[in-house]
A and B are shown apart, each in its own frame.
Chain A
Amino acid sequence: MNSTIHTNKMKNFSNTIQILIALLISISTMAQQTPAPEQNETISIVGGTAHIGNGEVIEDAVIVFDNGKITYVGTDKTQAKGKQISAENNHIYPGFIAPNATLGLVEIDAVKATDDEDELGKMLPHVRSIIAYNTESKIVESMRPNGVLMGQIAPRGGRISGTSSIVHFDAWNWEDAIIKEDDGIHLNWPSSFKRSGSWYDAERPFEQNKKYDSEVENLITYFQNAKVYNSDEKDLEFEAMQGLFEGSKSLFVHVDGEKEIQDVISFKKQMNFDQLTIVGAYQSHKLAKLLKSENISVLIQRVHSTPTFEDDDYDLPYKLPKILHDAGVLVALEGSGSMERMNSRNLPFYAGTAAAFGLDKEIALQMITLNTAKILGVDNQIGSLEVGKDATLFISEGDALDMKTNKLIQAFIQGRNISLETHQTELYQRYSDKYDD
């Protein structure tokens, strides 16, 4: 047989060397879990392909950052100063942002004692995720080797789940972790259809939710009351809602159905909100143009999902980001759902899969970086490799949206050279050593 045999030996060899170097650097500089010290010298990353996060790509790039902020992005080698890191043949990315995440709120799904994501009650705008955010979560640190360096930590449950905050994943305590405190309120829009039965049932047909209209009615009344709230008589809930009307907080409406999304659009008009983000938004593809014209942005449900309806295109969850993007909607990717915390590290691969189903790779990247920052209202600070923004970025051996090549060499959060070690890499090391001996 006439054949050509592929060998990856050379490539693997060089990969291994790079990994070893990376390991040596990180092991020698800091122990796992310990936050990195402040940036104390100018750092320049020279060479490599910089994926800016806004759709642009700069080959053979120079990126300089100082005091935690990016001071230069371009191709002028003379701009390089301070400590120089060569990123030749590698790729540089802004840190990925996981919106609508529950990282640090639950450690082990099945152990109730570790669960701090869901408070009792229906209307809980005053409940704040940030104070429960565990910076030392083993799951949070496991995000970093995949390039997921920041997240919006949101509570779950109820009609209004509570208030989220945006954090980065390298901090001694929650205060240190804050990028933006109390950035948004999360509202679970009622569903006009509900699945009947229990999770263990083989078949769970949809049933109409007869209370839908009254649930929506109650919700609107609640918002109207919050809007006219007079602080003479203190009300914790309404107090927490004020940011929505003043513009200091964003509203995240978790909603999936077409009818419900339509109702959210009416609600937005009724409440005079300039901007609003819908989260999940499974059937948003049916309303893409309307969402664009109504200035509604979308945090699209986990790309790695099965279609909700039997008749749906098998790839609908994969191509949803493209459909909305093509209609001009501001779209970012989120990953809530089953095992959402540990799965948050797969955020880049959600983007990769969206690209596999037609989305431009740099646009896909934008959906986990700059678009996310825009939707979260922090694009002046994070989301892209642009001058003046946080030096929260990383160098990957290859395409970071592809699991095969998403191999981080070095990562920085606000200029701090963070460890890429985790509980998991430590166990890997320990047992690899055991068998090597």
Chain B
Amino acid sequence: MKHNVLILLFFIGFLASSQDYFPDSQAVKTKSENFVALHSATIHVSSKKTIEYATILFKNGKIIDVGKSVKLPENTIKIDAKGKHIYPSFIEVYSDFGIKKIESAPRQSQPQYDPNRKGYYWNDHVRPDQNAISHFEFDDSEAEKLRKSGFGVVNTHITDGFVRGTSALFALNESENVNENLLSKHSAQYFAFDKSKQSRQAYPSSIMGFTALLRQFYLDTEAYQNGLIDNKDLAIEAFIGNKNLPQIFNVDNYLNALRADKIGDQFGVQYTIIGSGDEYKRVQEIKDTKAKFILPLDFPEAFDVENPHLRDYLSLSEMRHWHHAPANPKILADNDITFAFTSKGLESPDELLKNLRKSIDLGLDKNLALAALTEVPAEIIGKSDQLGTLEKGKIANFFISSKALFEDDFKIYENWVQGERHIFEDIDVIDISGQYNLTFEGETYELNIKNEAEKYSAEVKQDTLKLGSKLTYEKGWLNLILTETDKDSDKYVLLTSKIDTSNKAISGKAILPNGDETKFTATIATNKESEDKDEDKDEEKEDESDAKLLNVRYPNMAYGLKDKTKESHRLLIKNATVITGESEGTLENTDVLVIDGKIEKIDRNLNDRRAEVIEGEGKYLTAGIVDEHSHIAASSVNEGGHNSSAEVTMEDAVNPDDISIYRALAGGVTSVQLLHGSANPIGGQSAILKLKWGEDAEDMIYDNSPKFIKFALGENVKQSNWGGNSRFPQSRMGVEQVFIDYFTRAKEYEHKKNSGETYRKDEEMETLLEIINGERFISCHSYVQSEINMLMKVAEQFGFTVNTFTHILEGYKVADKMKAHGAGASTFSDWWAYKYEVNDAIPFNAAIMHNQGITVAINSDDGEMIRRLNQEAAKTIKYGDVSEDEAWKFVTLNPAKLLHIEDRVGSIKVGKDADLVLWNVHPLSVYAKPEKTMIEGQIYFDLEKDLAMRESIKEERNFLINKMMKAKNKGLKTQPIKKKEKEFLHCDSLDELNHTHE
């Protein structure tokens, strides 16, 4: 056996020079035509096929045959791999292996709006022209790490920018010539919601900016191909060239995975998604993407919960994620989602298998796990014909291991890449563990050689004296360094022996401190195994009971729901005081019947046997509150990278996992307009949501939602309060011109569009056209009367109406003009004094505008105020003597009207959605609180259930904290053991060798 190893080391030299057209002046060129066969091994040909006592035969880096009875040609070097396992080596698909450092663009004092690059796309973050090869230098030490972890090939790319360009596929062999280990020059195209550090261009600055930019880039590529763009664009050309490559999208949370996939659907592209490990949170939606996933295994570590004060700062969502993350692959597998694994996020690739083991322990199928490291990644990069399994004709990329994957003491001895051998540990080590009697120079010592997962260590004693010792056992050579028996000596004895038989009698040379050489012998006393092992096993079993998985909640956090899909049912609310918000006014002792989410009947003494009855006696039933101006449930609020961002939509930025949703429900709010921020004159499109806590983003967005867009005026858009002074406009005068300019361009665009000529589709212009054509409504952030008046004049000039002025704190000064124009108003009850333009804001504003016949709403614009909009409405009674009925409409029917959803919500009326709130007292009282909040007949907030949830949150927190304590205590248990070891022996370096006494 040992002979074979030596021969092979020799043989490798030949393999390396198999590219015969390269001149070589160093040696005589000889091409090997020999075969290599590994035999008697358990060969895992693929995740589905394992052959015992099998042989794999290969030549020139290609597999010739594999099986139980492979015919070996004469010129075959045979290697006995009896008892060993052979696996196809792993494939890393997300990596910046060998990519040279990317320099960052210098910081600037003012935001940059234009691109740096000339001849490319107008946005610097779109860089499909980047390719890995041009920035590549093979990294030997990284390659060694990857090989040791079982990888054979790596797909590498420049991990910078939004559209990141192409990757290259490398076999992990050192090579003087790139083309020897280069398997593919352009293997895939990568994306990420990330800006390039090579440019400071401001746009995009938000998730909805990224999604809009990508859509427009696809549209522009189409236009370019159709000859509609005159100038040459190297980025677009590169993108066209990359079209047929696998398209791989890197995201950092599951929401972004869904967002990326949605764009892909629109343009007929199916991305493979490099996930973030939280896909389990919405597994159904993830499944619906039909995407393959590349999953990281960088599971969060247990938090240090031993400090009781720290615990409060840890949310149940973080703890749950810690708990669930290792189960992510299993949960995805149970839902038939195809995935690969990546070592992305791990400090070192050798953590991959260690972490994956956690997933296996939680029930992930081992074969699936293997496929996720081999076949699936091969398939993702379109290389299934060459990689991923050990079938005939494929590249001979495999590793040899001690045990089957995921078994205890699994380790990799060798990793063969393109048939080239990389040895990490001897495949056939003679086990020398045991208790010996060591003798040299007439003295006898007790020598205990331990073998833990083929890591050898020694302990040497003479009576009670323990000697410092260090043992190495590599390539058949045993070296043992001992301190002298004299405690104060800093001199050492070196024992060395070549082990080539397993008869457990060791003899060799001892070199004494004075340089004299003599003989030593060590004869076996006992063959005993480590005694601690059984105990360890017991502990592990105990831990398995902890592995009990909590149900994933929707969202997976405090107050999340166990089950997000509920059956629609019938509800009957009895004997309540019903504030209809309609001409019927307030009805005493009245019942409301809800069927299939709609209000079916409003009357006294209603009966419905099948309905669930809610007793409303002494309580008030109202329509759910509608907030015209909100920013809760948003992943991002502003796309301020341009002065117009009409192309972006908040529908791309909805975050259904925001606790503010639940808290708003507890305040009786059922619908909100999620508005873009006010960073620019033309902001982004709105998302109008029902606060269906537990549902996903798409399900919260209104069906057939009216189209809205945010506009803004004044201090924010002219950047008065944060020092930006490089973006037009800087004054209210400029704001008007921005609008006129954009609408004029939109008209020109329309002209071209209607002319019948082919045209370049522009999402921004399409949106502006919708406004002009009355298909999309403006909600305009506004404060002072001059600008309010201005926008109405601009709108009139282009023939449309400003639907809503929001904030509109000086609306009372131009209420007559607003009425004449037909604008509505959504204002604060009493906010003022926070900036100069609200100096004349008065709490009577709502009342005056209302008295002038304007449709007035009171909004929150705030995650706190949204919790008690009923109180804000009541303030209009104090400030301006608005009647109770009208005041209540300020937060229900009127905002519904402003949002064009009054046919569905805003009042209690037969046929409308059953978005209802049951209050303890009249909702305009400061003492009011919602007891139940319903949307479409489903109860989304219930005071009693809330109390019960508090208890379960407490329980879960305790369960998880205990689990973490255990995780840490396991560490603590190993700590003393480690300490003990240190006392006995610390053998990292000779300097630290010292005597210790037991």
Interface, chain A (partner B; CB < 8 A): 1-8, 12, 15-16, 19, 107-111, 138-139, 192-193, 202, 206, 208, 257-259, 283, 304-307, 309-311, 313-315, 339, 341-342, 345-346, 349, 352-353, 355-357, 401-407, 424-425, 427-428, 431-432, 435
A428 lies within 8 A of B312 (CB): no
- Tell me whether B834 and A403 are in contact (CB under 8 A): no
What's the minimum C-beta distance from A363 to chain B, rounded to whole angstroms?
Answer: 14
Asked whether A310 lies within 8 Å of B659 as measured between CB atoms, the reply is yes
> Assuming A283-B312, A313-B950, A402-B926, is B836 touching A428 (CB within 8 A)?
no
Interface-facing stretch out of B152-160, B502-510, B864-872: B864-872
Contact, CB under 8 Å: B878 / A3: no
Please report the C-alpha to C-alpha distance between residue A431 and residue B851 in the assembled complex, in whole angstroms.
11
List which B855-911 residues lie within 8 A (CB) of chain A.
863-865, 867-868, 871, 874-875, 877-878, 880-881, 883-885
B863 partner, pick from A138, A306, A309, beta carbons under 8 A = A306
Residues of A within 8 A of B843 (CB): 424
In contact, A435 and B851 (Cβ under 8 angstroms): yes
What is the CB-to-nearest-CB distance from A205 to chain B, in angstroms, rounded to a whole number? 8
Q: How far is the CA of A344 from the CA of B925 in the complex (A)?
A: 20
Residues of A close to B310: CB separation below 8 A: 193, 208
How far, in whole Å, are A305 and B832 apart by their CA atoms in the complex? 18
Show 25 A/B contacts (Cβ-Cβ < 8 Å), sorted by A.
A1-B584, A1-B602, A3-B588, A6-B586, A6-B884, A19-B881, A108-B833, A193-B313, A202-B634, A202-B635, A283-B312, A313-B950, A314-B662, A339-B831, A355-B926, A356-B927, A356-B928, A402-B927, A403-B926, A404-B877, A425-B842, A427-B844, A432-B851, A435-B816, A435-B852
Whole-angstrom CA separation of A19 from B839 in the bound complex: 25
| B834 pairs with A108, CB closer than 8 A | yes
Residue pair A342, B883 in contact (C-beta under 8 Å): no
Taking the nearest CB of chain A, how far is it from the CB of B571, in angstroms? 19
Do A314 and B313 have beta carbons less than 8 Å apart? Answer: no
The 3 closest A-B pairs by CB, nearest first: A352-B926, A110-B835, A259-B309
Q: What chain B residues lie within 8 Å of A314 (beta carbons)?
A: 662-663, 666, 867, 946
- A207 to chain B: closest residue by CB: B313
Does any Cβ of A come within 8 Å of B585's Cβ?
A: yes
Chain B residues with CB under 8 Å of A16's CB are 881
Expressed in whole angstroms, the Cα–Cα distance for A251 and B661 within the complex equals 39
Q: Are A111 and B635 in contact (CB under 8 A)?
A: no
B812 in the interface, Cβ–Cβ < 8 Å? Answer: yes
Task: Please give, as numbers and ranges, the residues of chain B lying within 8 Å of A357 by CB-CB distance.
Answer: 929
Q: Is the CB of A355 within 8 A of B602?
A: no
B812 contact set on A, CB distance < 8 A: 427-428, 431
Measured between alpha carbons, how far is A426 from B309 in the docked complex, in Å?
51
Which residues from 396 to 426 on chain B have a C-beta closer than 8 Å to any C-beta of chain A? none
Q: Is the CB of B475 closer than 8 A to any CB of chain A?
A: no
**What 1/0 mask marks residues of chain B from 600 to 613 whose CB sits below 8 Å from any chain A CB?**
00111000000000
- Beyond A110-B721, A346-B830, A349-B926, whether A403 also contacts B317 by CB under 8 A is no
- Is B315 close to A, CB under 8 A? yes
Nearest CB on B from A22, distance (A): 12
By the criterion CB–CB under 8 Å, are B558 and A341 in contact?
A: no
Tell me the nearest residue of chain A to B865, going by C-beta: A304
Q: In the assembly, what is the distance between CA of A310 and CA of B953, in Å?
A: 11
**Chain B residue nearest in CB terms to A5:** B585
- Residues of chain A with a CB closer than 8 A to B721's CB: 110
Q: Could you tell me if A3 and B927 are in contact, using CB atoms closer than 8 angstroms?
A: no
Give Cα A263–Cα B167 distance, bound, in whole angstroms. Answer: 56
User: Assuming the A-B contacts A259-B309, A352-B927, A427-B842, are A310 and B317 also in contact, with contact meaning beta carbons closer than 8 angstroms in the complex?
Assistant: yes
Question: Which residue of chain B lies nearest to A422 when distances are taken between CB atoms in the complex?
Answer: B842
| A8 to B: closest C-beta gap in Å | 5
B924 within 8 A of A: yes
Given contacts A16-B881, A139-B833, A193-B313, contact A108 B926 (CB under 8 A): no
Q: A8-B883, A403-B875, A435-B848 are in contact. Are A356 and B926 (CB under 8 A)?
A: yes
Q: A306 touching B867 by the CB < 8 A rule? A: yes
- Shortest distance from the beta carbon of B784 to any chain A beta carbon, whole Å: 13
Contacts of B830 in A (CB 8 A): 342, 345-346
Q: Which residue of B lies closest to A317 (CB)?
A: B864
- B636 contacts partner chain A, Cβ-Cβ < 8 Å: yes
Tell me which residues across on chain A come within 8 A of B874, comparing CB atoms. 402-404
Q: How many residues of B contact A (CB 8 A)?
A: 74
Q: B831 to chain A: which residues have CB within 8 Å?
A: 339, 342
Further contacts, 20 of them, CB under 8 A, given A193-B313, A431-B848: A2-B603, A5-B586, A8-B883, A12-B883, A110-B721, A193-B310, A306-B660, A306-B864, A310-B557, A314-B666, A314-B867, A352-B927, A353-B868, A402-B926, A403-B875, A404-B884, A405-B878, A406-B878, A427-B840, A428-B812
Q: How far is the CA of A259 from the CA of B311 in the complex (A)?
A: 11
**Interface 1/0 per residue, B922-949 and A, CB below 8 Å:** 0011111100000000000000001000
Task: Tell me the number of A-to-B contacts counted with CB atoms below 8 Å.
Answer: 173
Within 8 Å of chain A (Cβ to Cβ): is B590? yes
Across-interface contacts of A19 in B (CB, < 8 A): 881
The docked-state distance in angstroms from the alpha carbon of A431 to that of B811 is 11
Residues from chain A with Cβ under 8 Å of B815 in the complex: 431, 435
* Residue B715 interfacial (CB < 8 Å): yes
Determine how close the nearest CB of chain A comes to the CB of B45; give it in whole angstroms. Answer: 46
Is there an interface contact between A304 and B864, defined as CB atoms closer than 8 Å?
A: yes
Shortest CB-to-CB span from A427 to chain B, Å, is 5
| B51 interfacial by beta-carbon distance below 8 Å | no
* Interchain CB contact under 8 A, A309 and B312: yes
Which of A107, A202, A259, A315 gathers most chain B CB within 10 Å? A202
Which residues of the partner chain B approach A1 to less than 8 Å between Cβ atoms?
A: 584, 587, 602-603
Name B941's closest neighbour in chain A (CB-CB). Answer: A314
Contacts of A406 in B (CB 8 A): 878
Q: Which residues of A lie under 8 Å from residue B840 when comparing CB positions?
A: 427
Q: Which residues of A contact B813 (CB under 8 A)?
A: 431
B309-A192 in contact (CB<8A): yes
CB contacts (< 8 Å) of A404 on chain B: these are 874, 877-878, 884, 924-926
Task: Assess whether B316 is interfacial by the CB under 8 Å rule.
Answer: yes
**Contact call A5/B584, Cβ cutoff below 8 A:** yes
Using an 8 Å CB-CB cutoff, how does the interface string of B104-115 with A read, 1 for contact, 0 for none? 000000000000
Q: Give A173 to B555 CA distance when docked, in angstroms.
A: 56
Residues of B contacting A309 in the complex (Cβ-Cβ under 8 angstroms): 312-313, 315
Task: For residue A109, give the distance in angstroms from its CB to the closest CB of chain B.
Answer: 4
Hey, which chain A residues are within 8 Å of B865, CB to CB?
304
Are A310 and B558 also in contact (CB < 8 A) when A202-B635, A435-B852 are?
Answer: yes
Task: Answer whether residue B470 sits at the interface, using C-beta atoms and an 8 A cutoff.
Answer: no
**Residue contact A432 to B926, C-beta cutoff 8 Å:** no
**Cβ of A311 to closest chain B Cβ, rounded Å:** 4
Give which listed residue, B316, B833, B871, contacts A353 with CB less than 8 A: B871
The reply on B553 being an interface residue by CB < 8 A is no
Q: Binary interface profile of B, 554-579, with partner A (CB < 8 Å = 1, else 0)?
A: 00011000000000000000000000
What residues on A are CB-neighbors of B839 within 8 Å? Answer: 108, 138
Minimum distance in angstroms from A341 CB to a CB of chain B:
6
- Report the separation of the CA atoms of residues A202 and B206 in the bound assembly, to the nearest whole angstrom: 11
Interface residues of B in 793-852 (CB under 8 A from A): 812-813, 815-816, 830-836, 839-840, 842-844, 848, 851-852
| Alpha-carbon gap, A342 to B557, bound state (A) | 35
For residue A401, which residues in chain B have a CB less than 8 angstroms away from its CB? 926
Q: In the complex the two chains form, what is the Cα distance from A16 to B848 in whole Å? A: 15
Query: In the complex, what residue of chain A is closest to B829 when comparing beta carbons?
Result: A403
Q: Which residues of B contact A345 (CB under 8 A)?
A: 830
Please state if B603 and A202 are interface contacts (CB–CB under 8 Å). no
In the bound complex, how far is the Cα of B208 from the Cα of A202, in angstroms?
A: 14
Contact A110–B836 (Cβ < 8 Å): yes
The answer to whether A3 touches B871 (Cβ under 8 A) is no
A104 and B864 CA atoms in complex are apart in Å by 25
Contact, CB under 8 Å: B842 / A424:
yes
Residue of B nearest to A426 (CB): B842
Least CB distance, B283 to chain A, in whole angstroms: 22
B315 touches A311 (CB 8 A): yes
A263 to B116 CA separation, bound complex (whole angstroms): 54
From residue 935 to 981 of chain B, which have CB atoms closer than 8 A to chain A?
Answer: 946, 950, 953, 957
